Amino acid sequence: MATGTSTPSGPEASRPGHFLLTGEGWPYLLVPLIPVAVVLELLHAAPTWVFLASALGVIPTAALMGRATEELSARSGPGIGGFLNVTFGNAPELIIALFALGAGLHEVVKASLVGSILGNILLVLGVSMLAGGLRRDRQDFEPRAASAQALLLLLATVALIMPAIFELVQGPGLPGPRDQAVSFPADVVSLSIGVALVLLLSYAAALVFSLKTHAHLFNPAHDEGDHGGEPWTVRRSVVMLAIAGVAVGVMSEILVGSITEASEAIGLSPFFVGVIVVAIVGNAAEHWVAVYFALRNKIDLSINIAVGSAAQIALFVAPVLVLASFVVGPFPMALVFNGFEIGAIFLAVFIAQEVTQRGDSSWFEGLQLLAVYAVLALTFFFV
Amino acid sequence: MATGTSTPSGPEASRPGHFLLTGEGWPYLLVPLIPVAVVLELLHAAPTWVFLASALGVIPTAALMGRATEELSARSGPGIGGFLNVTFGNAPELIIALFALGAGLHEVVKASLVGSILGNILLVLGVSMLAGGLRRDRQDFEPRAASAQALLLLLATVALIMPAIFELVQGPGLPGPRDQAVSFPADVVSLSIGVALVLLLSYAAALVFSLKTHAHLFNPAHDEGDHGGEPWTVRRSVVMLAIAGVAVGVMSEILVGSITEASEAIGLSPFFVGVIVVAIVGNAAEHWVAVYFALRNKIDLSINIAVGSAAQIALFVAPVLVLASFVVGPFPMALVFNGFEIGAIFLAVFIAQEVTQRGDSSWFEGLQLLAVYAVLALTFFFV
Amino acid sequence: MATGTSTPSGPEASRPGHFLLTGEGWPYLLVPLIPVAVVLELLHAAPTWVFLASALGVIPTAALMGRATEELSARSGPGIGGFLNVTFGNAPELIIALFALGAGLHEVVKASLVGSILGNILLVLGVSMLAGGLRRDRQDFEPRAASAQALLLLLATVALIMPAIFELVQGPGLPGPRDQAVSFPADVVSLSIGVALVLLLSYAAALVFSLKTHAHLFNPAHDEGDHGGEPWTVRRSVVMLAIAGVAVGVMSEILVGSITEASEAIGLSPFFVGVIVVAIVGNAAEHWVAVYFALRNKIDLSINIAVGSAAQIALFVAPVLVLASFVVGPFPMALVFNGFEIGAIFLAVFIAQEVTQRGDSSWFEGLQLLAVYAVLALTFFFV
């Protein structure tokens, strides 16, 4: 669903000195880590340092990409704007995953997809509801919009579980969390392609729903003032998008290249790094924006960002990666997740469903989402 | 739950020439396939043709049975009328299943039960919500009635899952989707009987709820004009019911006799044929009626038909078949489903629960239900 | 969550002769069984009789403990009162479990925890909704309070499922329902401790929510007249609490000591006795109180007692027992449940979620909860 992520800036954005401390500005404090990561990589420094620098270096490139996408879509009307948001909204995650796919790290790809979904509906939504509800009795939102997006996640859950059931009943079983890549039989690969196409079609339908037939549900109090600052020209937006794209690509290649060795050095499994660390890094910019809106009592927008972004990962990024795996990497990637991923996704989506059903939230719902995230992260830690 | 399936007819029904093209009339276009099926069977024609002719031949016999049941129950007051609806409402499915039970095809029986539930809550409800919502922002329904029926499905899900958990933990495991019939140990059979009795009692309670104590929830805008046409006499209704019963029986016997060979010839597994093809055929008449009401903005009735019919299969037809299997067929049928069936039922009921919880629907909910059905059908296709 | 269990008494309580027949009084009819149990134990009577006498003897001691806790908390303001309710509210269950822990019966401990949760959200809530809805069209309750508590159960479900998934994927598998105690590897034990701490923190947050920031949701019509009778002094409350504590302890030790042999003699598995019989006995007092309120159309309080008590077991008693197992008993108890327990808890919590989501109930919802309980109990019976 098109997460109309209007980056928060407000009047402060016009005062340049403070920009780096605003909601929009803080990620750029991490810009120096981009050259640091490149230098460390070229010097063949210890993988842990390369990993850390490139992980932090991803954050400003992702933020720039988000800003450029948004400026561009603001100039191009809801239709094309929505399409741009879709294409570039989760571009950093997609680029990281494509590099991992190329390196044959199928299980890291799937772990980061799952981690991104979990991070959005548990961590981002949890912090948003917690922070936004702290000094309020309740925050209300349009349940129809939230439920429609949560329903997409349910469909995605079915799509992620059925191939696994297929493998459990008919095939050699699920991949292990310590595998690097598993080559599945042809029928599971065919099933994965079919499921990927259904997901992409549903996603297209979701765009029609949220941008056209039911757009009014998704813009309950669309406050144009939020965009703030001076708008970018189309030219500037395109240039920035290109720069951001290249930078995300470079950081992602370095990040992915260091995951295996770095996780060994730190003593964490590549699975944990993929599902928790990479996911937090890849979504850092959105995290902040969602919390920013929650604090300003626009929990509708926070939910739209968190749940919408999770849906985008599940229904757009995941199937695109399945299709891309026929061209990129050693062999096609089947949509078969491991036991931890299936359990975690199912339970998280279940909870997202309950939390978005009734149309109001409090700090307590937020805290519960975070507690669930903590339990999942703990479990992954011991893998 | 008594699905008060008032067949749609309207003023057109009085003009005989158009009857075959009305909502009520179209199934009778398939009447010629009844004798065709009989002739092909007697000539020992290719199983594929026998299967196709008898599958299409079931549709008009099921439609006639539905009409006769309804006319009879309209004459006999809500109490006995409800009872008649219960007994004959899903009679075609019951008759097909009894023949399959007699042929020892336990796994086909269970697949067609599951397929009927999935078909109703995903396909029928999906098409209804999609078609009904196409030119409307939303369609509202009474959430209390819908939730009560969806709750029945949840109970059914528990009843279908627990014996499987029993087998997984204590017994030799679940049946495979390619098995024909599995003879389970005595304790699972006893457990199945106990569960079947609980389901039947719950179903009786559901009738009291929907026909007596909370009948007002289920007839929100009961429009008598819908029945249209001239009412049948009791005599005519009984005669028609008897004719339909015999015809359904004949078609079912031919259909069941050809399933195994036909599915081999077409290249589909008997599991796929049972869970998708037979289920669509057996519910074709209800499908049309539900969509008809949705188009006329009576989504309440569509939900009543779709979810109520699924509940009827799970809480009435399934336990009756378990009990009948002590008399019909080689050995008792345990209520142990295979991994695909359990996963599919659970996920479908979960989604039905979410979709019926809040009291409004749009085309998007309908499309999501269809996408889930597509993912399930795809998975079953590769079995 | 602090279940503000105001015991029902009303004006009758002032007439001593009738006291034993009131809602508050009936458990004390079982007082004579306390000395009977002690004598039978000392005489080394048949385990079945010892078990029966001590099981029934637990009921009045639990009732006294509940009354004393409540009188004490009524004297001490909402903050400390809530804390007392938490600490002593499920004290009988905790004491029974501690004795079982000491006897090394880890699987009985876990079965009684699960049984207590199931008993509360299916049996207690089911009877309450059924009885309360019998002569009413509907009973309304505050969905925000009910959902918040049900959400706690969802978190608990995640916490109970993830270690099991860990064992299924990485470890030697789940414990069997006939095991007495399984010593799990160190990583699962560490994971259990981590999960236990998350649960305790969430529980603390739930207390803040229900007693402080959102206390108004939990006292919709807090009718002080309900407390009735003459209030106890602090001194009397403390003395009674001490007496009750000792009595519960004695009964529990006798009960736990006789479980294994008695269940053999009766022909039931220790699992069934733990998950059904002990759970019903340990919650008998709360059962009655919840139904009492439902009959008086205060279904809010019934839900608060039933769901709140289940949450208390899952988020307070269970983690405390995990931590206590490092001191009490042969080796640490991991939070890994068997397949039956996981399936049952998950399905029961799912249903509790749906039933508490919308804010109204009828006898039909109650009956469905009972039917689910019946299916679970049936399954456990054949273990």
User: Do B371 and A201 make contact, defined as CB atoms within 8 angstroms?
Assistant: yes
- For residue C189, give the chain A residue with the closest CA: A382
pLDDT band at B13 (very low <50, low <70, confident <90, very high): very low
- CA of residue B287 relative to chain centroid, distance: 9
Residues of C in contact with A177 (CB under 8 A): 169-170
Which uninterrupted H or E stretch holds A126?
helix A125-133
């059925």: which residue's tokens?
A: A162
pLDDT of residue A3: 44
Is A365 strand, coil or helix?
helix
Question: What SS3 class is residue C3?
Answer: coil
Lowest mean pLDDT among A266-280, B25-39, B306-320, C60-74: C60-74
Q: Where are the beta strands (DSSP E) in chain A?
A: 139-140, 360-361
pLDDT at position C15 is 47
Q: Which of A336-350, B141-155, B189-203 has the lowest mean pLDDT?
A: B141-155
CA proximity to C340, closest of C291, C275, C290: C275
Per-residue model confidence as pLDDT tens digits over A170-185: 877 788 887 878 888 8
For residue B358, give the nearest of A168, A213, A357 by CB distance: A357
Say whether A353 and B354 touch across the interface (CB within 8 A).
yes
pLDDT at B59 over 70: yes
Q: Taking CB atoms and an 8 Å cutoff, what residues of chain C touch B161?
A: 343, 347
DSSP-assigned beta bridge partners for residue B140:
B360
Q: Where residue A18 falls among pLDDT bands split at 50, 70, 90?
A: low
Tens-digit pLDDT profile for residues C20-34: 666 567 778 889 999
Residue A104 CB burial class (10 angstroms; 0-12, 13-18, ≥19): middle
Q: What is the model's pLDDT at position A78?
A: 57
Is residue A311 within 8 angstroms of chain B, CB to CB?
no
pLDDT tens digits, B260-307:
888 888 888 888 988 998 888 777 777 877 888 888 888 888 888 888
**Is residue A378 very low, low, confident or very high in pLDDT (cuts 50, 70, 90)?**
very high
Say what the pLDDT of residue C67 is. Answer: 81
CB A303 within 8 A of CB A139: no
Q: How many helices (H) and strands (E) does chain B have?
A: 17, 2
Q: Which residue has the higher pLDDT, B81 or B151?
A: B151
Q: pLDDT band for B15, please (50, 70, 90 cuts).
A: very low
ipTM value, please give it.
0.86
pLDDT tens column, C320-350: 999 999 999 889 999 999 999 999 999 999 9
Å between C53 CA and nearest CA of chain A: 41
Count of C-beta atoms within a 10 Å radius of residue C351:
25
Query: C-alpha distances in angstroms, A325 versus A98, A332, C136?
Result: 9, 5, 60
Among chain A residues, the shortest Cα distance to C209 is held by A364
- Residue C75, CA distances (Å) to B206, C215, C230 in order: 46, 18, 13
- Phi, psi at B223, each rounded to 5°: -95, 105
pLDDT reading at A224 higher than 60: no
A165 with B357: Cβ contact below 8 A? no
pLDDT > 60? residue A4? no
**CA–CA separation, A41 vs A32, rounded Å?**
15
Q: Which residues of B touch A147 (CB under 8 A)?
A: 354, 358
For residue B99, give every residue at least 6 positions away whose Cβ sits within 8 Å of its Cβ, in sequence order, or none: B249, B252, B253, B255, B256
Comparing CA positions, the residue from C150, C132, C139, C160 lying closest to residue C306 is C150
Q: Rounded to whole angstroms, how far apart are CA atoms C156 and C135? A: 35
Q: Which residue of C has its CA nearest to A360?
A: C144
Sequence-ordered list of residues with C-beta below 8 angstroms from that of C332, at least 6 positions apart, any chain: C189, C192, C322, C325, C326
Of A282, A114, A262, A268, nearest in space to A178 by CA: A268
Q: Which residue of A has its CA nearest to C193?
A: A378
What is the predicted pLDDT for the residue at B229? 64
Task: Using alpha carbons, list the distances in angstroms from residue C169 to A211, A342, B129, C159, C164.
Answer: 42, 12, 40, 16, 9
Measured CA distances, C183 to B104, C97, C191, C331, C332 (Å): 45, 18, 14, 7, 8
Residue A259 makes CB contacts below 8 A (sequence gap 6+) with A51, A100, A105, A108, A270, A273, A274, A278
pLDDT at A226 over 80: no
Query: What was the pLDDT predicted at B24?
Result: 64
Interchain CB contact of A357 with B (< 8 Å):
yes
Task: Report CA C126 to chain centroid distance, whole Å.
Answer: 15
Interface check for C346 against chain B (CB to CB < 8 A): the answer is no
Residue C74 is predicted with a pLDDT of: 75
Q: Which pLDDT tens digit goes with each residue over C174-192? A: 888 878 888 888 888 999 9
Q: Min CA distance, B77 vs chain C (Å)?
A: 22
Q: Which residues of B are less than 8 Å from A161 in CB distance?
A: 343, 347
User: Of B345, B375, B383, which to mutate for an interface test with A (greatest number of A Cβ within 10 Å)?
Assistant: B375
- Of the candidates C278, B368, C243, the one whose C-alpha atom is nearest the C-alpha of residue A206 is B368
d(CA C85, CA C70): 7
Does C383 reach chain B within 8 Å, measured CB to CB?
Answer: yes
Poorest-pLDDT segment among A291-305, B10-24, B172-186, C169-183: B10-24
Q: What is the number of helices (H) and of strands (E) in chain A?
A: 17, 2
CA B341/CA B106 separation, integer angstroms: 14
What are the helix (H) ranges across C43-119? 47-74, 77-89, 91-102, 106-118
Nearest CA among C341, C336, C334 for reference residue C175: C336
- Report the DSSP pairing between strands B139-140 and B360-361: antiparallel
Give the pLDDT score at B333. Answer: 92
Could you say which of C137, C338, C354 has the minimum Cβ distance to residue B214?
A: C137
C224 pLDDT exceeds 50?
no
pLDDT of residue B349: 93
Provide the pLDDT for residue C379. Answer: 93
Among residues of chain A, what percentage have pLDDT more than 70?
Answer: 87
The per-residue pLDDT of chain A, averaged, comes to 84
Q: Is some CB atom of chain B closer than 8 A to the CB atom of A202?
A: yes
pLDDT single digits (tens) B231-253: 888 888 888 888 888 888 888 88
pLDDT band for position B180 (cuts 50, 70, 90):
confident
Judged against a pLDDT cut of 70, whether residue B38 lies above it is answered with yes
pLDDT, tens digit, for every residue of A129-163?
999 998 888 899 888 888 888 888 999 999 989 99
Say how many C-beta atoms besides its own lie within 10 A of residue A183's C-beta.
12
- Amino acid A331 reads F
* Chain C interface mutation, best of A139, A168, A269, A347, highest count of C Cβ atoms under 10 Å: A347
Q: What is the pLDDT of residue C381?
A: 93
pLDDT of residue B83: 65
Q: For the packed helices A125-133 and A284-295, what is the interaxial angle rounded to 10 degrees?
A: 20
Nearest to A383 among C170, C206, C357 (CB): C170
Higher pLDDT, A383 or A73: A383
> Mutate which of C118, C354, C383 to disrupt the B interface (most B C-beta within 10 Å)?
C354
Which of A228-237, C82-91, C160-169, C234-243 is predicted least confidently?
C82-91
Percent of chain C with pLDDT over 90: 34
Q: Which residue of C has its CA nearest to A138?
A: C214
Chain A nearest CA to C195, separation (Å): 6
Q: What is the mean pLDDT of residues B155-169?
A: 90
In the DSSP assignment, the letter for residue A137 is S
Alpha carbons B97 and C239: distance in angstroms, whole number: 67
Mean pLDDT of chain B: 84
Q: Look at A221 and B56; give whichever has higher pLDDT.
A: B56
Helix, strand, coil content of chain A in percent (nearest 5): 75, 0, 20
pTM above 0.90, yes or no: no
Residues of chain B with Cβ-Cβ distance to A155 below 8 Å are 351, 368, 371-372, 375
B105 versus B77: which is more confidently predicted? B105
Question: What is the C-alpha to C-alpha distance for residues A66 and A88, in angstroms, rounded to an integer?
Answer: 8
- Examine the pLDDT at A308 and tell me if it is beyond 80: yes
Counting Cβ atoms within 10 Å, is residue C286 exposed (0-12), middle (13-18) or buried (19+)?
A: buried
